[in-house]
Amino acid sequence: MTIIKVALGVFFGLALTFVACSLIVTQGTGTGCVIHLAQFQALKTGMSYASATTMLGCEGTEMSRSELPTAPQFSTIMYSWKGPGIANANAMFQNDKLINKAQFGLQ
């Protein structure tokens, strides 16, 4: 039960970070790859990070990482990708499975 409470706390903490980062990420993140709305919409819950990067055409910039000391196999990582202009997208993976995504201004 304690692990579940800790995991929920980590998840909600990262969710807040996720929203905040989506507001402040600007040009210059990532590897120069620019993603578009159709690519973002193709991301599906449960897909692996490798599948997501194949779909988007590049790796994202790691924005945050959380791992439980008592359960090192449990990890949550948030990545960001640049879109045109100030547009951006974020995706959160838990144990290498997409659990959440958000975008701002993609077309």
Give the domain CATH number at 52.
3.30.1450.10
pTM of the model: 0.71
User: What's the domain range around 26?
Assistant: 2-104
Task: List the structure tokens of 27.
Answer: 């040009």
User: What is the structure's pLDDT at 5?
Assistant: 52
Q: In what order do the strands lie in the sheet with 61-68?
A: 61-68, 71-82, 88-94, 97-104
Mean pLDDT over the full length of the chain: 82
- Total domains in the fold of the chain: 1
User: What is the structure's pLDDT at 16?
Assistant: 40
**Residue percentage of the chain with pLDDT more than 70:** 71
Q: What is the mean pLDDT of residues 7-15?
A: 50
User: What is the structure's pLDDT at 4?
Assistant: 58
Task: List the structure tokens of 30.
Answer: 């990532």
